[in-house]
Each structure stands twice: as C-alpha cells, then as structure tokens.
C-alpha cells in the first residue's frame, strides 16, 4: 500500500510542459548532457530545430515532483516530416531517460503515457485528423507494441519498423512510409561516401559526423556527398530520409555506430582502388 501511495503521488505531481529557450539544450542533447557521444553530434539538430519550429514542431517535457525533466516528446505536421501524409501530426520520438548516468532512470513512472496523451490532445487542438508514429517490432526504443496499447494501429511496414496511427475522425487519410527512389552508386576513382540526413535524430547525426571524420583519414581517396533531406525536393528525389552509404552499400544504424567500425568499412573499400 505504501508503494502504491508513492506511485500515485509521482503520477499526480508529474507535470507536462512546453520547451523554453532555457530548456532547449536538454532537448538538443536528448536529456543526455553527460554523454560523450552527444558531443560528436554537431549542429545539424540545432539547424533542424530552428527551421522546423517555424513549421509547427512541438516539444514537451515531463517533469517529476521535483521539477526535474525525465522525458520528452517531439512531434510536427506530417507535411514537414519524413513520412507521406496530410492533415496529420507525427511523433518523431518519445524518450524517457533510462540511464544510470546523469539524471537517472525515469522509466515506469507513466511519463511516456502522459507525454503521448499531451501530444494527442494538442494535435486535436491544432486541427489534425490523427496522430502518427513509428515503432520497432524488436524489444528496443520506440516499441510498436507499446503504442498499440494506446489504440495505435499499423498502417505500413518497412523491415523491423512499423508505421502506426490513431485517426481522430473519419476525414483521416492513412500515412505511408516513403519508398526509396534511388540509391548511391559505387565510386569510380574514389570511394563514394554518401550521407542522407534529415537532422532530427541525434543518433543519425553522430553516425554521419563520425563517417565524415573517418573519411579524413584517407585524403584524396574519398568523395563525400551529403544531402539535406529537410529539403522536400531532395527527399522526393531519393525517397530516403536518413542513411549512410559507403560505395553504394548502406551502413545499418540504430544506436550510433562507433568511429572505429565506420573507419574499418571505409578502409576496406579504399584498398579496392
């Protein structure tokens, strides 16, 4: 009973608040001020944020009973997202800090549930016909099964990723994953390092920055091509929002890939020229 009372107090005292200039840094580093990896992410997310907050991007935080930020959510109109759709809002990610470092573990306190509900309510106020998100079918970050508990249904599939949504009315049109239109080619005289980057995800930003740094170890042997997929024309041309290719072969990423691993992949291709 004592445990349940404490749990009820945590839920009751939790607050959902909007981002402010004073809390932008916590958002940009995904609540991981302690992380050395985040120091490698560069300025791409800051540029993306500055651009997208003028196009409807919303960021909210979950605060505990001591007003410490424990979780966050970011969502924006689908027309400015990495997915295809109209008159919908998209949750790019919900993140509740679960590391021992820094602020500590805030999971299992209801923060994710509260953040998702706040986004749904806000999207309805903005006139959206539904809320969209993505989820993984493996036991990792952004699980599709978690969203299904709250009434979200799968509308599209891509590998281990699912596109899910909750329509708010009969006017809602299901969203879709973008399908690849073309892929980078193998280099002719040099190794072709191709970066397609949207900027919203720091994991992808870290991987891209490490790839560019690794390429510098092979002067004159790497051709780096970088494409900003926040540009809708570039996104439509490729049909790919975030990816790293070495000589036309994609480097699979989820968590940031280590600098050493990326360097080995590039070095292997360099030796073939």
* 103-137 pLDDT, tens digit each: 999 999 999 999 999 999 999 999 999 999 999 99
pLDDT on residue 273: 83
pLDDT value at 9 more than 50: no
Mean pLDDT of 164-186: 96
Confidence of residue 264 (pLDDT cuts 50, 70, 90): very high
Confidence of residue 12 (pLDDT cuts 50, 70, 90): low
Burial group, residue 8, by CB count within 10 angstroms (0-12, 13-18, 19+) = exposed
**Residue-wise pLDDT tens digits, 15-73:** 999 999 999 999 999 999 999 999 999 999 999 999 999 999 999 999 999 999 999 99
Confidence of residue 3 (pLDDT cuts 50, 70, 90): very low
CA distance 31 to 72: 8
Total-model pTM? 0.91
Hey, what long-range contacts does 251-254 have (CB within 8 A, 24 or more apart)?
Answer: 251/207, 251/211, 253/203, 253/204, 253/207, 254/140, 254/203
Q: List Cα–Cα distances, 251 to 86, 106, 182, in angstroms.
A: 31, 32, 16
* All domains in the chain, ordered by first residue: 2-167 (3.40.630.30), 191-270 (3.40.30.10)
pLDDT value at 234 more than 80: yes
Interacting residues of 131 by C-beta distance below 8 A, sequence separation 6+: 75, 88, 89, 90, 91, 119, 120, 123, 165, 166, 168
């Amino acid at each position: 009973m004592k445990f349940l009372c404490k749990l009820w107090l945590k839920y009751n005292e939790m607050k959902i608040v909007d981002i402010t200039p004073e809390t932008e840094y916590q958002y940009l580093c995904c609540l991981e001020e302690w992380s050395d990896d985040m120091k490698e992410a560069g300025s791409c997310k800051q540029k993306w944020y500055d651009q997208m907050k003028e196009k409807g991007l919303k960021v909210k935080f979950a605060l505990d009973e001591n007003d410490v930020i424990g979780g966050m959510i970011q969502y924006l109109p689908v027309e400015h997202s990495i997915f295809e759709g109209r008159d919908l809002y998209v949750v790019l990610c919900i993140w509740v800090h679960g590391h021992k470092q820094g602020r500590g573990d805030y999971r299992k306190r209801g923060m994710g549930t509260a953040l998702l509900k706040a986004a749904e309510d806000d999207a309805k106020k903005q006139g959206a016909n539904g809320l969209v998100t993505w989820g993984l079918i493996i036991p990792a970050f952004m699980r599709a099964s978690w969203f299904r508990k709250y009434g979200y249904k799968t509308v599209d599939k891509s590998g281990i990723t699912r596109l899910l949504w909750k329509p708010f009315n009969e006017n809602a049109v299901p969203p879709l994953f973008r399908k690849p239109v073309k892929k980078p080619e193998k280099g002719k005289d040099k190794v072709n390092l191709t970066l397609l980057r949207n900027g919203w995800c720091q994991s992808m930003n870290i991987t891209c920055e490490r790839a560019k740094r690794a390429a510098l170890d092979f002067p004159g042997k790497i051709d780096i091509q970088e494409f900003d997929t926040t540009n809708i024309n570039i996104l439509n041309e490729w049909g790919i929002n975030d990816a790293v290719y070495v000589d036309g072969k994609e480097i699979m990423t989820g968590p940031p890939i280590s600098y050493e691993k990326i360097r080995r992949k590039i070095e292997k291709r360099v030796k073939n020229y």
